[in-house]
Structure 1
Amino acid sequence: MTFPTFKFDVADEQRTQAIAQNLADAVKKASPQGVVIHLEGDLGAGKTTFSRYFIQTLGHSGAVKSPTYTLVEPYELDEVNVYHFDLYRLADPEELEFMGIRDYFGTNTVCLVEWPERGGALLATADITITIKLEENIRCFTLTAEGEVGAGILTVAFACEA
């Protein structure tokens, strides 16, 4: 079965914000089974900026800081718990086992994982993979559903833009 992919060329931060808000609004409408989003891209591609707008749209009113040094920043919101991971500084995937990584992926959670390739097999499978590539002054966003849950969310979020 083929799942949907949506591509966007983004020239400014306002468009990044709009994509994050659309996706977060669609996640709010999804069932509370939990959603895992992998964010891929080079340093400076915009993964943390995207995450900030996404988390704020889900209901967090404070600052959203990069979890580069802590590996994970939790956000306990009214309707969902959000866990924002940044695995860039992860030395060994086994570190995730010591921090109880499996406890984060459950019902009524949204997990945003930057640098998922560094987590190896210990990470939960993504429902949606977002790849951000910098090409001159344009950020190229590719959002790919990795299963039925992701397909439903992306279709709600971006069907009118297809």
Structure 2
Amino acid sequence: MDPHDHQSISIPAQNETQTGQIAAAVTDVLRAGDVVILDGALAAGKTFFIRALVAALGSDEDVTSPTYTIANIYETPKFPVLHVDAYRLENAKEFYHLGLDDYFDTGLCLIEWGQRINGFFDAALQIDIEFGATDQDRIFTFSGKATPWKAVFAALKDMSHD
């Protein structure tokens, strides 16, 4: 892999409103077929970020963590959103056997605890969520191959200079 093709940007959010603004900025440039992997400690805000993202896509569906169902599907005006929680999966092979392939091309795939299926997707957008200085503060670090995610990094770069 060309190291110059990998990009990363960190954006702080001081509250849930700012988290929602980050999610909205990203939804403007996400497309059907995109895969976004979210990692972070328990209660870091992975499901909250996905809830904000699905709402920004124009859906009023109730977004909940699919910890036990493993996958939820939400309909939005743009495309379906597949929300996967990989916490209970052992590896990428178990993920493959869920048979969710049809959604990978036609919808947006959002995967919590994505490190559990590390290597399944080779060009996913990675979002790492860390706690900041206070209970409300979060730091969102977006990383991935620059070429497929050029529009996402451009949107986030604009945000980080506001």
1:110 alignment partner in structure 2: 108
For the 8 Å contact 1:25–1:157, the answer to whether it is kept is no
TM-score w.r.t. the length of structure 2 is 0.84
Following the alignment from structure 1 to structure 2, what is the Cα–Cα distance between the partners of residues 3 and 97? 26
Kept after mapping to 2: 8 A contact 1:75/1:82: yes
Per-residue deviation at 1:77?
2.4
Structure 1 position 128 matched with structure 2 position 105: no
TM-fit CA distance, 1:135:
3.3
Tell whether the 8 Å contact from 2:123 to 2:148 is kept in structure 1 after alignment: no
What's the secondary structure of 1:74's corresponding residue?
strand
Q: Give the distance between the partners of 2:36 and 2:54, measured in 1 at CA.
A: 12
CA deviation profile, 1:94-145 (whole Å, cap 9, x unmatched):
3323211333311x32111111111234x32343111111134121111123
Alignment partner of 1:51: what SS? helix
Greater mean alpha carbon deviation, residues 140-149 or residues 10-19: 140-149
Cα deviation for residue 3 of structure 1 reads 4.0
Residues 51-100 of structure 1: CA deviation (Å, up to 9, x unaligned): 00001111211211111111111113232111011111224443323211
Q: Which residue is equivalent to 1:46? A: 45
Percent identical pairs in the alignment equals 31
Taking the TM superposition and a 5 Å limit, the aligned residue runs for 1:52-91 are 52-91=51-90
- Cα distance in 2 for partners of 1:83, 1:114 equals 11
Q: How many Å apart are 1:160 and its aligned residue?
A: 5.0
**TM-score of the two chains, using structure 1 as the length reference:** 0.84
Task: Report the count of equivalent residues.
Answer: 156
SS at match of 1:63: coil
The amino acid of 1:114's aligned partner reads E
How much has 1:16 moved relative to structure 2?
0.6
SS at match of 1:103: helix
Which amino acid counterpart does residue 126 of structure 2 have in structure 1? T
Q: Which residue of 1 aligns with 2:8?
A: 5
For the aligned residue pairs, the C-alpha RMSD in angstroms reads 2.0
